[in-house]
Amino acid sequence: MNINIIGVPLFYGCDKQGPQYAPDKLRENNLIDILQKHNHKVFDLGNIHVPSADSDSKFLYHRNMKYVNSIVTVNTNLAHLVNISINNNDFPLIIGGDHSLSIGSIAGVSKAFKNIAVIWLDAHADINTHETSPSGNVHGMPLGASMGIGHEDLTNLYYKETKVRPENVFILGARDIDSGEIDLIKEKNINVYSPEKMRKIGIENLVDFILDKLKESDVDAIHLSFDMDFIDSSYVPGTGTPVNNGFNVDETKLLLRKLAQTGMIKSMDFVELNTLLDENDKTLNLAIEILDSVFECIK
Ligand SMILES: NC(=[NH2+])NCCC[C@H](N)C(=O)O
Ligand SMILES: [Mn+2]
Ligand SMILES: [Mn+2]
C-alpha cells in the first residue's frame, strides 16, 4: 500500500499546548521506517501549515468555538490533501494534532467515495455543537459536524453536504459523554458502544457485526479515527483528556488489527497524543507500538 503521512500540528481544538508536537515526535521515533517494514511505500507529505493565533483571539469569531477560523482554514487544506491522496488510490494517515482535524480528513475522504462509514475509537463522542459544548473546544465537535450537526462553518467545510450518514457511524469505547451529546445520540439514533458493552459482545464479534451492517448499507470505504484516550488513562498520561475504565493495550491492538484485516479501512486519523504531558515517552512509545501493529494488517 502507498501510505501518505500528513501531519497536522494543531492544538487550537483542545486549547491546550502539546498535541502540535506529536507529528514530528513520531517521525523522530522512526514512524516511517516502522511502516516501511510492513512492505508499505511511505510518502511523507509533511505538515499542513497552521497559522499562528494568539490566545487573545480565541473568541474572536465565535464565543463557544474557540479558534474556529484557524481550525476551518487548516481543515479545508487538510480535506483537499486527503481527497487528492484517496483519488490517487493511496492511504492517507493523518497524524494530529487534536481531534478537530477529523472535520477535514472526513470531508476529504467522503468527497472521494459514494457512501463512507466512520469508526470512531474514543473515550468521548465528539458530537457536541457550539450550543451544547461545555468547553467551547472544537475537538469535542468533529464527529457531529461530519454528520451535519452543528454550526454551518463546520458542517459546510470543504463542500456543502453531510459527510457521513449517522447510521454509518460507530463510536467505540465511549465512556465520557456530555448531556447534550446524550440527547443527540437518542435523537439521531447514533451507534455508541461503551467498553463495558463491547466486552460483553466480544471485540471480534462486534467487528463482524459492524461489518455486516455496513455491507447492508452499501458502504464503499471506512474511515478509522483513533483518539489516544480510547485507551485506559493508566496507559496514556500523554493525552489531554484521559478517562479511566478504558481498554488495555492488548485489547486495543486486537480491535485495531481486526478492523484493519477487513480490508475496508481506506484512511486513518491518529490524534490527541500530547508529548508535553507524557511521562518518560510512555505514550509516545505506545503510539508507535500501536501504529506498527495496525499497519502490519493494512494490505
Ligand atoms: N477529542 C477529544 N479528546 N475530545 C474531548 C472532548 C471533551 C468534552 N466532551 C468537550 O466537548 O469539551
Ligand atoms: Mn476525540
Ligand atoms: Mn477523546
Q: What is the per-residue pLDDT for 37?
A: 98
| Residue 227 annotated as lining a ligand binding site | yes
| Residue 292 annotated as lining a ligand binding site | no
- Kindly report the backbone phi and psi dihedral angles of residue 161, in degrees, each rounded to the nearest multiple of 5, phi listed first: -155, 165
Q: Distance between CA atoms of 4 and 26, rounded to whole angstroms?
A: 14
Q: What is the per-residue pLDDT for 298?
A: 98
Q: Which of 10, 105, 106, 126 to mutate to test the pocket of ligand 1 (most atoms within 8 A of CB)?
A: 126
Write the ipTM. Answer: 0.97
Q: Which of 139, 141, 228 to mutate to test the pocket of ligand 1 (most atoms within 8 A of CB)?
A: 139
pTM: 0.98
Q: What is the per-residue pLDDT for 59?
A: 96
Give the start-to-end residue ranges of the domains of the chain: 2-297
Nearest to 162 by CA among 138, 146, 150: 146
Q: What is the per-residue pLDDT for 221?
A: 98
42-71 burial: b if 16+ Cβ within 10 Å, else e: bebbebbebeebeeeebeeebebbbbbbbb
pLDDT per residue as tens digits for the range 34-86? 999 999 999 999 999 999 998 889 999 999 999 999 999 999 999 999 999 99
Q: Which residue ranges in the chain fall short of pLDDT 70?
A: none
| Residue 126 annotated as lining a ligand binding site | yes
Q: What is the per-residue pLDDT for 130?
A: 98
Catalytic positions, written as ranges: 99, 122, 124, 126, 139, 227, 229, 272
214-240 burial: b if 16+ Cβ within 10 Å, else e: beeeebebbbbbbbbbbbbeebbebbb
Q: What is the per-residue pLDDT for 1?
A: 97
CATH architecture label of 2-297: 3-Layer(aba) Sandwich (3.40)
Nearest to 158 by CA among 117, 97, 108, 96: 108
E strand intervals along 36-115: 41-47, 91-96
Q: Ligand 1 — pocket residues by CB below 6 A?
A: 99, 124, 126, 128, 133-135, 137, 139-140, 178, 227, 229, 241, 272
Q: What is the per-residue pLDDT for 201?
A: 98
